Amino acid sequence: MRNRLTEMFGIDVPIFAFTHKPEVAIEVTNAGGMGALAASYYQPDELERILTDMDEKTRGRPYCIDVLFANKVGDVVPMSERLKALPKGHLDFVEKILDDAGIPPLPPEVEAELLRDKPPGRGHTEEGILEVLEVVVKHKQARFVLSAMGAPPAHVVETLHSRGIKVGAMAGSAEHALKHVQAGVDLVVAQGSEAGGHTGTISSMVLWPEVVDAVAPIPVLAAGGVGSGRHIAAAFALGAEGVWCGTIWLGAVESELSPDMRKKFIAARSQDAIQRKYDTGKPLRVLRSKWTDAWDAPGAPEPLPLPAQKLLVIPALKRLELANAVDYMGYMSGQIVGRIKKEQTIREIVEDMKAEFQQAMDRLGR
């Protein structure tokens, strides 16, 4: 698996692991790949503590920070203004879902914490991301920053380059990839529609070679439906030089999912990962649940745009989590979820990928 990307970052294998859990990023990094921590939602002091811990536990190995430069973001409204800012019909609809499910209200201390958090959507704005990057540049092991929702501004790319940090961006089309190149990125992540989270509409098999051809000679990471060594071999065959994967780590014991949610992911089929706008206002692939079913039902309102939809649903999703209402809980999930068949450690998943990749390459060689 050694190539330009392993040389660029000084890593053993070009496996990049997107995660919301620092422990997952640490484990993949220590297994020879590169953990990529989603950092846009952290408060600066919280992120400083997390990255200091990651520095210590990764023992000099480089890791990645994932941020969300969204091209279009509506007005960011603090949680304290939620009831005034949102349509009453939408508020009533969400409350009815929770009432019908018997979900208790938020405890006062949790409600107070939500009020102290960043306003929903701030993590998608340039101002919010620059707060994150002010912390990131203090940590020498944070060698790679990826923009996951849009082209990073050229001046941000220049600033990161001046600090020795490589910059990448995620693309759902060749046109998007070319915009990233114009901004000065060092590599592009071509994310097919099978991926979890925010995605475009072009499948990986079509997208990967299109982006490779469009941005050559800039290296490309393949994302969307990656969860095994065979997928890595296929990505290489289509011109990519590494892979970016997220969903496959959710079955690990170190993941952010509760034991009950991990069981739900292990039982899920590929077709249970559906693309909807109900959690953020932008197309987001999540695991189907009674929550998504309620929004799919006749008479349900249309989701609001980003960030208003996030402002609407964040308290509801927190209530579902605290009640452990697994039937109503989804979480971001790609179609590769159907491959998660058992609970494993991160190290075991990485080793399985490496072994299967070697088997696939041997088979192709014959």
Burial 300-322 (b: 16+ CB within 10 A, else e): eeebbbbbbbbbbbbbbbebbbe
Residues 314-335: tens digit of each pLDDT: 999 999 999 999 999 999 999 9
Burial (CB count <10 Å: 0-12, 13-18, 19+), residue 163? middle
Return the CATH number at 185.
3.20.20.70
* Predicted local distance difference test score (pLDDT) of residue 71: 66
In a domain, 299, yes or no: no
In a domain, 296, yes or no: no
How far is the CA of 276 from the CAs of 72, 248, 253, 300, 343, in angstroms? Answer: 18, 20, 27, 13, 27
In a domain, 103, yes or no: no
In a domain, 239, yes or no: yes
* Predicted local distance difference test score (pLDDT) of residue 65: 98
In a domain, 49, yes or no: yes
Contacts of 142 (CB under 8 A, 6+ apart): 51, 62, 63, 64, 65, 136, 165
> Distance between CA 202 and CA 189 in Å, rounded?
14
* Predicted local distance difference test score (pLDDT) of residue 259: 96
In a domain, 283, yes or no: no
* Predicted local distance difference test score (pLDDT) of residue 72: 67
Q: Which residues of the chain have pLDDT under 50?
A: none
Number of domains in the chain: 1
In a domain, 175, yes or no: yes
What tokens does 166 get?
């490589």
Residues 288 and 274: beta-carbon distance below 8 Å: yes
* Predicted local distance difference test score (pLDDT) of residue 125: 85
Residue among 9, 22, 18 nearest 51 (CA): 22
* Predicted local distance difference test score (pLDDT) of residue 60: 96
| Three-state secondary-structure class, residue 220 | strand
Domain range enclosing 197? 4-73+122-254+333-365
In a domain, 93, yes or no: no
> Distance between CA 206 and CA 32 in Å, rounded?
29
* Predicted local distance difference test score (pLDDT) of residue 324: 97
